[in-house]
Structure 1
Amino acid sequence: MVDILRYGLKEALGPREVPDSAIALIDDEGTVVGWTNTAQRLFGYAAGEMVGRPAWFVLPFLQNVLHVWAASEQHHARGGWSGTVTTHHRDGHTLHVSLRLSLLWGLDGAVHWLVSGTDIAALSAVETSGSVRESLLTRTPIGIVVRDLELRCVWVNDVIERQDSIPRGQRLGRRLADSLPGAESEALEAVMRQVLRSGKTAVHEYRARPPTDRRREHAFAAYHFRLSDADGRPLGVCSISVDVTGNQRTRERLAILSEASTRIGGTLDVMQTSQEMADLVVPLLADYAVVDLAEFVPLGGEPAARIGPTGQRGQALRRTGLASIHPGTPESPWTRGESIFVPPTSPWISVLASGASHLEPTLDTSPGTWVDNDPARARTIRENGMHSMMLVPIRARHTTLGVALFVRTQEPMPFQEDDLLLAEELVTRAALSLDNGRRYTRERTAALALQRNLLPQSLRDSAAIEVASRYLPADVGNGVGGDWFDVIPLSGARVALVVGDVVGHGINAAATMGSLRTAVRTLADMDLPPDELLSHLDDTVRRQTDEDDDGDGRPVVIGATCLYTVYDPVTRRCTTARAGHPPPAVVGPQGKVTFPDLPTGAPLGVGSVPFEAVEMEVPEGSLLALYTDGLVETRDRDIDVGMRKLGATLAAHPQRPLDDLCSSVIEALPTQSPSDDVTLLLARTRALSPCQTVSWDLPRDPAVVHGARNLVAQQLARWELHRLISDTEVITSELVTNAIRHGAGPVSLRLIKHRQLTCEVSDASRSFPRLCHTRSTDEYGRGILLVSQLSRRWGCRWTTGGKVVWAEQDLPGHDGENLA
């Protein structure tokens, strides 16, 4: 009951919350004699600064007119004045105050004024409710009684006598128990004493029989607050009361507003929010209700420049909310989610175009009205007995999102103006949630599109591996995350597998993921070992963090995890390093599952922690599973449990097609409403046969170059690659010559035939060759330039014993094909 009383006061007095009303007591000369804590919060002045000073110190307009009002019989009869004024806070900012002056009578005909005011900005955060509540503030009769420390009545207005039937002469100078004996007065006095002691406001209900309605008791809600003198000591207690009887109809309206705050907008789903509003008002306000939104709203699109008819075509809307007191909603020709059309002459169009509500207390379907051009609606109106209608535009942030329809069929009472006020309040509250949902949908769609475009669009098998993947975005409540995966072709038929996870969610995380994926690909092109690659990537993340942290206090994404592994199909070995990421699962050809014991490493962006790579043998036909923690860890499942479940699922049928195996893993590790993205990358290893590779150890003698050319030509002939012999001879000649002239230690030459032909020359030196633009008179320096011109691509990588310089050429029939 207390909640209902508070809502009664709230809607009657107008403030967003009753305790926010500033209350001051001023004498007939305009001097402040009582001040409240709420007045201090509104205007910024304490009681000691205001008591004894003229009220126009904070309300300048009172200086010229207060004495006129006091002497005016009109204002005496009306008991005061209500309106909106502009003043300033103590700190200088402008206040727009909804103000009410109430005339109070004391002993011997003395006059005081009670000033109550509320910041207009605090009335409501929405566009229309301010005017609604301000009108209520102006119209509602408010009873006022001011009592001293002994709870004797010292000031009273005329309204209170009409509320509880106690004449002014019988009340002034007396306690409530003297003028209204009984348990009711004792309870009220107990509340007022508590207010005097604590200084905290209190709301209390009491009952009385007004002289205008002696047949039944009325319920009154009284708001009690303490007045303070110049020293901040209690001066008395002021009680403001309002009749909240209003029968069941009023209480239902207040209950609807109270319930709307909890039932509407609990999610960012536009369809669900629309349905919540429709379900709330049926049957409390209407017998049938629908919510029709512009097509761009459920899709998260940007609003059109204008919503309304285009020429003679009318307007298309989407029905997102639908409720009726009749099963199956026979009143609606369209189902929820269906696109509907309104003709240009219908009131829907005028509401959308003007932003003003439309009320038809008696729905007119006679010839010549708008229903003539809307036969579908005309038919359902007549068939279902619709006799009263309200159309309310759904507006938020100066944008029209759609329209809400309220109809009465079974309830005989037509809609009135107060019904429209309530409907506008409900729609405005829901509109903010709908627009938030639209914005969220737009951002999430953009983040998903960004992330999917940044991830590999397709994975192609190579000579080294067969691959498949799954990516599941996080749930609606958390949005898109920063998971990524990649398969990167490397020199020598090798391939790099990458899985990473950026801290956070949303567009920022997706954008960070894209930059990290690009950085990994750039570093991979440099043929860095996994541990060195992660070290460089860690530096990249830290630099990005330093650049983003511009000192404005905004949070920045400062971390990510990553697993990077390189598989060589020639040696059948994997080299892996990780930065705070879960280890891969390795399933052997016989179904044995292991999670390699790899150094964990710190997440990227932490710094100061070196990364360590581990090399292991991986037999042909083994299965590598790289994943993010969203797959194996949930709120109610430990990561170790998830990893064991993952291993068991992979081992059950390791030879199944990888796409089917991915689906089995996702099904076996349920991720309903995941709080993080789920990424899975499966790779089945392949091996190059001995006949696809050949290598030679060469002496460090310039004369060996001719012999190396002959060895290469003979091998290419055996492979029936005659078209490549000439170019490969030149490439071999230049690479071997460079190794002998500028390298160190033994020299090796290797040819690898997979989807490309790779020519590799290794030596013990750590110096990389550079591509130079030579002049026509230079005797040396053209070797690498020739290699770059004759090969598809070339490069150099470090090894444990030195370096390898390599060059790739496309095989006949495989021009332009890449390992991706």
Structure 2
Amino acid sequence: MRYSEVFSQGFDPARVHPGGLWPDELLVAGVRVDALGRIAHWDAAAEALLGYPASEVLGSRGEMLAPMSRFPRVESLMERITTGPATTGPCTARHRDGRPVELAAWTYRVPETPGVGGDVFAFLVAVSAVLEMRGSRALLDGLCGQSPIGLAAFDSDLRYLQVNTALEAINGVPEAEHLGKRLHEVLPDINSAEMEAVMRRVLDTGESVVDFRVTGRTPATGLEDRVWSCSHFRLEDTRKRPFGVAISVVDVTARVRAEQAAAESHRRLDLLNEAAARIGTTLDMRRTAQELADVALRGFADIATVDLMVAAADDAAATFGSDLAGGIAVRRLGKAPARGSPEADVLAPLGATLHYPPDAPYVQAITRRDPFVVAEVDERAITASSCHTGAVRQLRELGVHSLLMVPLLARGKVLGATTFYRAAPARPFSPDDVALARDMASRAAVYLDNARLYTREHDTAVTLQRSLLSHRLTPPPGIEVAHCYRPASDINEVGGDWYDVVGMSGGRAALVVGDVMGHGITAAAVMGQLRSAVRTLARLALPPEQLLRELDAGMADLPGAPLATAPMRSATRQPAPARSPRPAILHRPSSTPTAPPNCWNCPPGRRWESAASTSSRSSCRCPRAASSSSTPTASWRPAARTSTSD
């Protein structure tokens, strides 16, 4: 291409080299002067620089460009162009509005015919624009060089144009190895495809993206995964035409890890609160074990099992110590999910009995009373457990990669162990997870031991009560008795209820139904004592009211002075109710007791507060019963009042 053809195309900023120069910031004008000194080409950039249209200067010798005489003597533009060979230097031209414009000119003379001068080409820039660009460039270079934030510019093809010193350190790659390359070519171990998609969107839409997270490794981080926060914005020239994307990069790994730690801490606290609310709602060992397994699945593990030693699970009264030299047998009382999961189905079902030899990891965890962690179920862990069970290999094939066994300790005893499993993509169990599992297991172990102790006491009370109840009643001839025992309260509570038929002389029989206040072994034991006392007193043929008085006096000697009630009937072939005199009440110490109307709601035999003698008659202040019963009842407690009336 001839030199004249270069200028004939005019000023086109789009033809600027793609290296990133901004043509509107440094306006470069093109002028051609022929061998006769006439201006032969004047482009649009020259018009923008000096204000003269091409029609006013073409063909002239540039007289209008000469600076006015009042300006200091500086070589004029035409002198610089027309004199000498190729030159570079300053000159001055007069703007169309009359002001002088200091220029920097680059000229080149082209010989066309030997011995004859040729055309001169000149490139002109304003000195003020050069100085301004140098200041901006110095500011930009200082910002890029001194900034602790990584900065980079990409062209429209998303290839590196420039990176600063901080980004070189972040990436661990020199600037020269960035330029002209795509992101994945420089950093293959980050999520470059996602990042380039974001940059392409920014380039197309002009919408900036803030805090896009990039994860992975760079040559500077080695094998450690890091997290970076990247912000993207589009690069535009002064005519708002996009030509690339700039990004800023900040390493936020420490902040992300702190946020994750805080979130994990909140999650653990929530799980502990939920465990406290959901575990131990009953005094049933199987229910409590299942509650522990169910809570573990709420964000802590993918599979959970709870196993209790057979001695603790089957015999609440059994004693078991730490002698596990012969191995252990455990009963599976809790499992979640119980069914429907391929991984969980590999494990033994609920109710199964498992036997472990002394060298099994399970037994070792219980013996040491410390959690046993397999952070990564690899071939080594599979080999170590293969002689005891094949479930570990099957679990590994199904994606389970980490397990944690925690002993259940309560009141210095090992009740069993709970095991947690995690499958991909969950992370392995960490030391913090071990501490959380220990807390949950400790809480559950106390509830399990409470259930065990309750079961032992309950079984003892049931045995005692059944031994004291009459399994076969033998009334005297002529009397038929039908009986049935139905607990009125919780079927799990054992109380002091009893019934009996005592044969008496003369073909009579005493029918007794008693109830000792309270539940448990104490109530059952008191019930046995009262039953024996009633049978003894009834055989003395005492009237019912006198029998109850004697029984009342005998109860005063019992520890704790329990309260009991007992309906009693002395029966012959013609039944008649056994009833003590109606109670009397004294309103004032000096007043006379009054006889009340019939009061069916007050059980005879009960002691009432009164200042009158035992022979006084009075009435009680209790509401009239909605219905009456022909079976009189009596209640008694130790004589703790100042005066009583039966």
Larger Cα Rg: Structure 1 or Structure 2?
A: 2
Q: Which has the higher contact order (CA 8 A, sep 6+)?
A: 1
